[in-house]
Amino acid sequence: MEEIILQAKGIQKYFHDPVDVPVLKDINFKINKGEFTSVVGKSGCGKSTLLYILSTMDTDYQGELYIDNVLMSGKKEAELAAVRNEKIGFVFQFHYLLYEFTVLRNVMLPGLKLGKYSEKEVEHRAMERLKRLNIDQLALKMANQLSGGEKQRVAIARALINDPDIIMGDEPTGNLDKKNSEIVFDIFNQLTEESNQTMLIVTHDMEFAAKSRRTIVMEDGKIIKQ
């Protein structure tokens, strides 16, 4: 039997302002270890909303969310922060690097927060990840001196620093040109193939979705195909 990393049971969400509008209706699915899953759907179908619930950042929902077979629903803010730190890696549409730090430091931050390794080791691990993404030569540059594609790769390296159970992406290629999009996809693919890294990517780039191993299609807050 395959190992389940993430499981959603009957997740529902309403937007309360100005009137109660359902955005997610009874979402149920599982993601196994090593799966490369894309979530696609039209703009406004609730796919990003779902991702933020799955990422534990949004706690305003009904239903149950399990990550690594631990119930996340109802946990405290600080506990969820620790879960995000250890088990989830994020790649957003915009890179969200901290401009006050160097590239290396940006990648190291979540690792330092985890505190599992010494600063030296974290630095070593960060360098390893930068090398793997072919951007180790940028390590000592400040984050604002990079190009868009480079920044997104740094963000991926940062997502990888703590060996997360799952990497979540919210339109990670949405702001990139075709060439860089392909590079990012190749990186994701390579991570799945070589390291058995679990991926959950929200995208409206159908080409990107088509290349991924599994596709979840959403419409009007419901999963219509998985």
| 109 touches another protein by CB under 8 A | yes
| 203 touches another protein by CB under 8 A | no
Residue closer to another protein, measured from CB, 81 or 127: 81
Alpha-carbon distance of 94 to 92, in angstroms, equals 5
Residue closer to another protein, measured from CB, 116 or 225: 116
Of 32-40, 77-85, 132-140, 178-186, which segment contacts another protein by CB under 8 A? 77-85
Residue closer to another protein, measured from CB, 119 or 177: 119
Start-to-end C-alpha separation, the chain: 19
| 4 touches another protein by CB under 8 A | no
Contacts of 22 (CB under 8 A, 6+ apart): 12, 13, 14, 221
Verify cis geometry, omega within 30 degrees of 0, for the bond prior to 164.
no
Contacts of 117 (CB under 8 A, 6+ apart): 111, 125
| 210 touches another protein by CB under 8 A | no
Residue closer to another protein, measured from CB, 112 or 127: 112
| 77 touches another protein by CB under 8 A | yes
**Which regions of the chain does DSSP assign to beta strands (E)?**
4-15, 21-32, 36-41, 62-67, 70-71, 88-91, 166-170, 198-202, 214-219, 222-225
Residue closer to another protein, measured from CB, 81 or 193: 81
Minimum distance, C-beta of residue 195 to another protein, in the bound complex (Å): 20
| 23 touches another protein by CB under 8 A | no
